[in-house]
Structure 1
């Protein structure tokens, strides 16, 4: 994967297709490949006439993995996303974020509005404001010697996922310390770009999508039927809703 520099870190990315750019920001413990390529998102976006830009967040994938929690605040990772657009010479892009990636997208849309056409917050509802209650359990699970005796369901889920993807569990633990920083309700109200809030019907981690959409000045909510947090990522109905939203906010020439 090609790389770029941000905050002294070397971060990996890839670009697929041509057309209006969509910057894809993956979730916690995932990577650009796992979140967007393996789930068919890149194929979906490029097939619809968009350019898909896939970023490995700091601490993930092929990017640098610092162990300092102070390097994982959402504002830091939002700056990484802006730095990638600078590196590619792109003035504005749509943002497609999932879970932690949606939180990063929200901070980017608030702090760097001039770089954002629109945003999709996948797997992130009202807990953008309320925070993640299971964070400390996930950290303990990542640092546990093994899965044996690990009973907390969310902690087990992320530990198994991290082992499956070959992630650096200590970097992920540092990331979880600070990347779950809530966004102030007043700041959410000042996100002025169009937003699609898409959350699985059975997702207990994200919080409800409708109350978050109501707070945002220009937003709509979409419930992904019969999906939980992990299984909503590549859902066909989520993709269709996203393409319809992009068609209204960032249409292609075709």
Structure 2
């Protein structure tokens, strides 16, 4: 007997895009799909909402499960503005953008998900007072929260040597991805310099249930196990993949959905 079709998984939800002026007037692109409990999803460095959440089906999985996926392109990424004025990148600008978007969108009872830089931003936004019901920190380890300058120095160096990096160079993959994503390197460099380190003691302020979701071969941002252990109410889930490949896996979306459906 042929298996019955699961019609709920065949629905294709429309993706709408609008632009919202952030705290300083910078236009930020916000993509939305599905209906139900809102989930704010923050993508990774040099990526976009489309690359991290839409292309590989994670937004569709959330929509199928009865959530609304709200996916901004971070400042200097995707369809959002990428200003070259250094004044457009005050300290912790992404946290300020995140909190402003949550307010502008009227998000009160919502969940928050971030991958890599998006996870870092999500954690910092919670420390700054944002209060999602549940939190997912994907592609993130403890060391990239309080030792960011070491991590960002690698990417700043890659940008500074952008036209010189050849295959075999440690920065080759990063530069290749920036080229694929058509990253504005001037804006990206300013953004990297605007990020600041966190104090591990402030992790105690992340009190909501949290999922640390990471590729089993991903240690690019440090130890996910140490991050989960440092949080008051966290669980660790490993899925197949490296830092770059884990976000392409269906297990990423499935893990997010399963966690958000709890409680």
TM-score computed with the length of structure 2 as normaliser: 0.86
Alpha-carbon separation, structure 2, partners of 1:152 and 1:245: 38
Q: Aligned in 2, Cα 1:246/1:75: closer, same or farther, shift over 3 Å? A: same
Q: Aligned in 2, Cα 1:49/1:74: closer, same or farther, shift over 3 Å? A: farther
Match of 1:223 in 2: 238
Match of 2:211 in 1: 196
- 1:245 pairs with 2:259: yes
Alpha-carbon separation, structure 1, partners of 2:214 and 2:227: 11
- 1:102 pairs with 2:105: no
* Cα RMSD for the two superposed structures: 2.0
Alpha-carbon separation, structure 1, partners of 2:134 and 2:123: 10
Match of 2:148 among 124, 131, 135: 131
Match of 2:227 in 1: 212
Deviations 1:163-218 (A, max 9, x none): 10112111112222233x32211111221111101121211312111111111111
Deviations 1:121-179 (A, max 9, x none): 000111223336342232122232525447542x2212111110112111112222233
Instruction: Please state whether the residue corresponding to 2:120 is helix, strand or coil.
Output: helix
CA contact (8 A) 1:74 1:103 kept: no
CA contact (8 A) 1:70 1:178 kept: no
CA contact (8 A) 2:159 2:185 kept: yes
Give the gaps of 5 or more residues in structure 2.
Answer: 1-16
Alpha-carbon separation, structure 1, partners of 2:166 and 2:262: 49
Match of 2:35 in 1: 18
Give the gaps of 5 or more residues in structure 1.
Answer: 250-254
Task: Report which of the two structures shows the higher radius of gyration computed on alpha carbons.
Answer: 2
Range with bigger deviation, 63-72 or 78-87: 63-72
CA contact (8 A) 2:57 2:250 kept: no
Match of 1:172 among 188, 200, 203: 188
Match of 1:252 in 2: none
TM-score computed with the length of structure 1 as normaliser: 0.89
